[in-house]
Amino acid sequence: MSWADVAVCVESTFAVDVDWARDGMILTPSTVLTGRPAVVAEEPDPPQLIYPARGVGALWSTSCADHTSATADLLGTTRAAILANLVAARTTQDLARQLDLAPATVSFHLGILHRGGLVRRWRSGSRVWYEATDLAAQLLG
């Protein structure tokens, strides 16, 4: 990715035409992405530029890992991983890519977490977004 005159140039293996003036662009920092920035351009949503967040520091420290282990013992490793990645709102597809799981697997576990009151969901356009509830935050501590 580079800046050229008044344009953002993104090297990609596929062609995407984006009308930046009409659609704009959402800048999304990621605590998981460590490599090059990624562009997500899926109609009808505006394109997103996802980039590695700076200042992550001790976000993934061992004290958190110990607590996550206890949560995994209670909920199972897949559900604990999904909850840990729902600090910010995400879609099933986002979580599936992030956790390297099938979207159907993520959807199944999200349904159980929703029925248990640990995640809330809402629809925006054609996407369903999920976010951890206060109860989940207390569980993750």
pLDDT at 104 > cutoff 90: yes
pTM of the predicted model, to two decimals?
Answer: 0.53
Question: How is residue 41 written in tokens?
Answer: 């351009």
Neighbours of 84 (CB within 10 A): 19
Give the model's confidence band at 119: pLDDT under 50 very low, under 70 low, under 90 confident, else very high.
Answer: very high
pLDDT at 56 > cutoff 70: no
What amino acid is encoded at 78 in this protein? Answer: T
Higher pLDDT, 30 or 23: 30
Which pLDDT does position 64 carry in this prediction? 43
Higher pLDDT, 1 or 25: 25
Angle between the 77-84 and 62-75 helix axes, to the nearest 10 degrees? 130
DSSP 34: -
